[in-house]
Amino acid sequence: MRIIQFSKSTSYALHALVRLARSEPGVNVGIKELSASLGIPESYLSKVMSKLRQDGLVRAVTGASGGYELARSPEKISFLDVIQVIEGRQHLYECFHTDAQRPSKPQCLIHQVMDGAEERLLQYLREHTIQWVLDRRKEHEPIV
């Protein structure tokens, strides 16, 4: 029974992005500082950051005094963006019937309910951005 739960990778990505959004633009944050301040294994986080770069959410600079920074402004990065980069774009529900076994052309009712539920979820995640977090963040909090 597959677990309906976001992966740690997604959580790591979200925390890292908030952390990056907190630093001045133009300042690179290294993986060491990132992993230390968030409490995430360094080598694993580097994998996650690499994925974020490949999908255009952050920019990376190699070499001394290199590191990461956001590729676009925090209000342009939604939770949904992050989740879809890490988890992929699979649907919440998938038919177990093949096309041949499928009763009839338009979607069956169970499918309709599940897709409706998914849309509610995605809509909420689309409406909430990294900037949303920054706006409500208290300065004294170490992370978020």
Partner DNA sequence: CAATAATGGACATTACAGGTCTATAATAGT
Partner DNA sequence: ACTATTATAGACCTGTAATGTCCATTATTG
Min dist. Cβ of residue 74 to DNA (A): 19
Which of DNA, ligand SF4, a second copy, none has residue 27 at its interface (CB below 5 to 8 Å by kind)?
none
128, amino acid identity: H
Would you give the binding string for DNA spanning residues 33-72, x where CB under 7 A is met? -------xxxxx-xx-xx--xx-----xxxxxxxxx----
From candidates 24, 94, 99, 139, binder to a second copy by CB under 8 A:
94
**What is the secondary structure of 41-109 as a DSSP string?**
-HHHHHHHHHHHHHTTSEEEE-STT-EEEESS-GGG-BHHHHHHHHH-S--S---SS-TTT---SSPPH
Q: Least distance from C-beta 61 to ligand SF4, angstroms?
A: 26
The yes or no reply on residue 74 touching DNA (CB under 7 A) is: no
- What separation in angstroms does the CA of 109 have from each of 88, 91, 97, 106, 114? 25, 16, 14, 9, 9
Closest to a second copy by CB, 65 vs 104, is 104
Selection from ligand SF4, DNA, a second copy, none that 26 binds (CB < 5 to 8 A by kind) is none
d(CA 124, CA 83): 12
* Residue choice 13, 17, 18, 31 for contact with DNA (CB under 7 A): 31
